[in-house]
Structure 1
Amino acid sequence: MRKYSLKLMSAALTVSVLAACGDNNETAGDNVVDNDNNNNNVEENENNDEDGMTGATYNEVMDADNLHEYIGADGAWILHFYADVTTDQDLVMEGDQENRDEPERKLALYEQDEDRNVTEQYTLEAPSLTVHNENARLQNGTFIGDIFVEENGFILAGMTVEGDVHFAGEEYFDSSDIDEDTVIDGTIYVDGEEMAMDGMTGATYNEVMDADNLHEYIGADGAWILHFYDDVTTDQDLVMEGDQENRDEPERKLALYEQDEDRNVTEQYTLEAPSLTVLNENARLQNGTFIGDIFVEANGFVLAGMTVEGNVYFASDEFEASADIDEETEVTGDIEVQ
């Protein structure tokens, strides 16, 4: 399974904010829920538009019972979360809800202050979420599970999705909007076909099949995730560097593994080089084998489920203190500060 963090597909989708959402301020009596991810200067909508189903513009979701009561046809057009929610039932988001006489639905997985800064984000976990609402939006939080999109205008804004996103048709995919702040830790499928990622135009993941791919992507021009699909050997020293970010924080990852739809690791790969120098802050090597010496020259270095057949050298005590080498990692050589 391929690992996505941002859908910037080549020709299939232009990442842009839908016009219908650009000035969309949701009002429920005196409660205003802003559609933008962070700050904006949109004035409050003076019209207290209500959805046609219950007279309420939004429902409060505090637990699984609230969620199941409101996510279907009888719920309001906004479901506003005030806690993490976990359910073992598949979810179906459906109904004829409208906002300003247009079909729309939103799961608002966040709270914000009076200046519309996001102050809290919540997690929704379910086996799956099937979307039947046109112009449905998930915003500013985490969804753990797979999403099945069966309508036009689907939006992911500032979300983390720990699962796959399945579009039932190309029309639904083409009309969707997955913004640059969204991380999809899984695969995007359209009509059952896995979508390829545009590797070098802001995409957050590159495929590594051989040494040429590796040398092209490991430097400053590469994405924040390098996802391996084969063993790779090079006789050149490697330098992992650049200003890559994940959710506005510096981060870099060598994913030396594949996993199935249940996120079980199904394959692990080996990277062999004379040395790897890590200049990225919060760099991670995960679930595979590195043969060679590693030189760490930044904070936040992580080895997770790795085998390192070589030494790990930290350029300072600070870099060593901020590192995380988990109990599943085996380093056959020395770990020391040079």
Structure 2
Amino acid sequence: MAVTKKEIAEHVGVSRSAVSLVLNNTPSSTISEETRKRILQAAQELGYQEKMATPKICFILYGRSPDDPRYMHDLKVVEHAASKLQYATLFMNIPATAVGHQKLQRFLDKREVEGMIITGDLDDTLIRMIQASNEPYLFYGGTTREDANIMVLDHRKGAYTAVQYLIELGHKRIAFFSGRLDITVHMENLKGYYQALEEAGLSIDKSLIQASKEEDGYELASRLPLLGIEHSAIFCVNTVIQFGALQWLKDTGVAVPSQVSLAGYGFTELVKLSKPELTTVYVDQKEKEKLVDELLDIIRKRKSSTPRHAYLSEMTLHKGGTASIYMP
């Protein structure tokens, strides 16, 4: 007859929940190392047959829609990398509201996972809650705080590389389409845009810089002709904006890329769903898989109080079909 967790608990003289925490490999400060060893030894001696539960990490998306293709692509990358290392991945979507904060606190109190990767529109409330939990964590983008564990994409380099590519194709009047410019990611994108223009000796025309809080590429693309802003190319800070801009150009009979070229930053399912495929610069999957490696190293060294800062800056160009040589 199979040995149960209850029998192990009675044999060792501890609670069944303590046995579950140890056999499920769940981090818990209430289980001493000595008790843990006793439980594992008893399980072995009594012939406990159940496989050890797969350790888990959690991918938390904060303040963003759960169906946002940018973050869903990142989730798939994390799941793939974690599974190769025998970790399961949980997903949580937390709105930036009081109700969302309560949901997050209940999750943190349960201590069900080994560590967390947190991304989205991070704010001080979220950061304080995660750090106060004393659980291993890694913020992915959204903050550059010196007192936190962070891994950040080189958003400046991504924009710089894409705009430089358009310049190499002969474009000089390049629009910049963005979401809110007070967000760190977009501020870094703008710096990369400026850098590429300045290095090429091109003047900066701020009328070419267009932002939409809703990140509505369709609406952004409609502005330029209405405002009489001449351009031959557009750089978009993400593929959602780029896809929307492409739809407006197609709907109004503007040929892409022969009349207007589009280049973006990032890689989502929209890149290949688009006709033509989107031209974009991105950090590839193998580079992003370092997220999981970094988190697991934080888990192993969880007693370290030194904040971890890591950067992903190796860019790849997907040529797609929305950018071509400038033809006056």
Alignment TM-score > 0.5, same fold: no
Give the number of the structure whose residues are more often helix, by fraction.
2
Larger Rg: 2
Could you tell me the TM-score, scaled by structure 2's length? Answer: 0.29
